[in-house]
Amino acid sequence: MRPYALPRAARSRCSRRSQEGEPHSMSSDQQYPYGNGYPYQDPNVAQTWEGQTWDTQYQPAVQPAQPVQQPAPPVAASDTAHLPAQGAPGAYPLPPEVPYDTPTTHLRAVTPDPAPAAPAPAPAQPGYGAPTTSGHVRLTDAQRARAEGRSPIIEPGMQPAVLTAALGGLLAAGAALGPYGLLVPLVLLQAVTAAGWFRLNGMWPARQGIALAFAGGLTADVALLAAGREHAPAAILGTLGVWVLLVLVLQLRSHAGSDERQYGLMATVASSALAVLAAGHLAAVPDAVVVGCLAVAVTVVARALPLPGAVTLVVALLAAAGAGVAAGGMTGMGARGALLGLGAGVCALVGHRVASYDYPSRFVHMTAGVALPLAVAAPAVYVLGRALA
Question: What φ, ψ does residue 215 adopt, rounded to 5°?
Answer: -65, -35
CA angle 133, 139, 141 (to 5 degrees): 130
Tell me how far apart the alpha carbons of residues 304 and 313 are, in angstroms, rounded to a whole number. Answer: 10
DSSP SS3 for 64? coil
Residue 375: count other Cβ atoms within 10 Å of its Cβ: 30
- List, in sequence order, the alpha helices (H) in the chain: 8-20, 28-31, 141-148, 158-177, 179-200, 207-227, 232-252, 258-277, 280-283, 286-303, 309-331, 336-354, 362-388
Contacts of 45 (CB under 8 A, 6+ apart): none
What pLDDT score was predicted for residue 256? Answer: 78
DSSP 48-61: ---S----SS--PP
What pLDDT score was predicted for residue 86? Answer: 53
What pLDDT score was predicted for residue 34? Answer: 47
CA atoms within 13 A on the CB side of 55: 4
Tell me how far apart the alpha carbons of residues 375 and 387 are, in angstroms, rounded to a whole number. Answer: 20
What pLDDT score was predicted for residue 258? Answer: 79
> How is residue 302 annotated by DSSP?
H
What pLDDT score was predicted for residue 93? Answer: 62
| Nearest in space to 198 (alpha carbons), one of 113, 270, 145, 256 | 270
Contacts of 157 (CB under 8 A, 6+ apart): 127, 304, 365
What pLDDT score was predicted for residue 203? Answer: 77
What pLDDT score was predicted for residue 51? Answer: 53
CA distances (Å), 169 to each of 175, 185, 367, in order? 10, 10, 17
Tell me how far apart the alpha carbons of residues 321 and 376 are, in angstroms, rounded to a whole number. Answer: 17
| Nearest in space to 122 (alpha carbons), one of 109, 108, 136, 105 | 136
Question: What φ, ψ does residue 304 adopt, rounded to 5°?
Answer: -85, 0
Residue 19: count other Cβ atoms within 10 Å of its Cβ: 8
From the first residue on, what is the mean pLDDT of each consecutive set of 10 residues in the chain (389 residues)? 48 48 47 49 55 55 59 57 52 59 57 61 50 52 71 87 96 93 95 92 81 94 92 93 91 81 89 94 93 95 90 94 92 89 95 87 90 95 90
Tell me how far apart the alpha carbons of residues 375 and 293 are, in angstroms, rounded to a whole number. Answer: 10
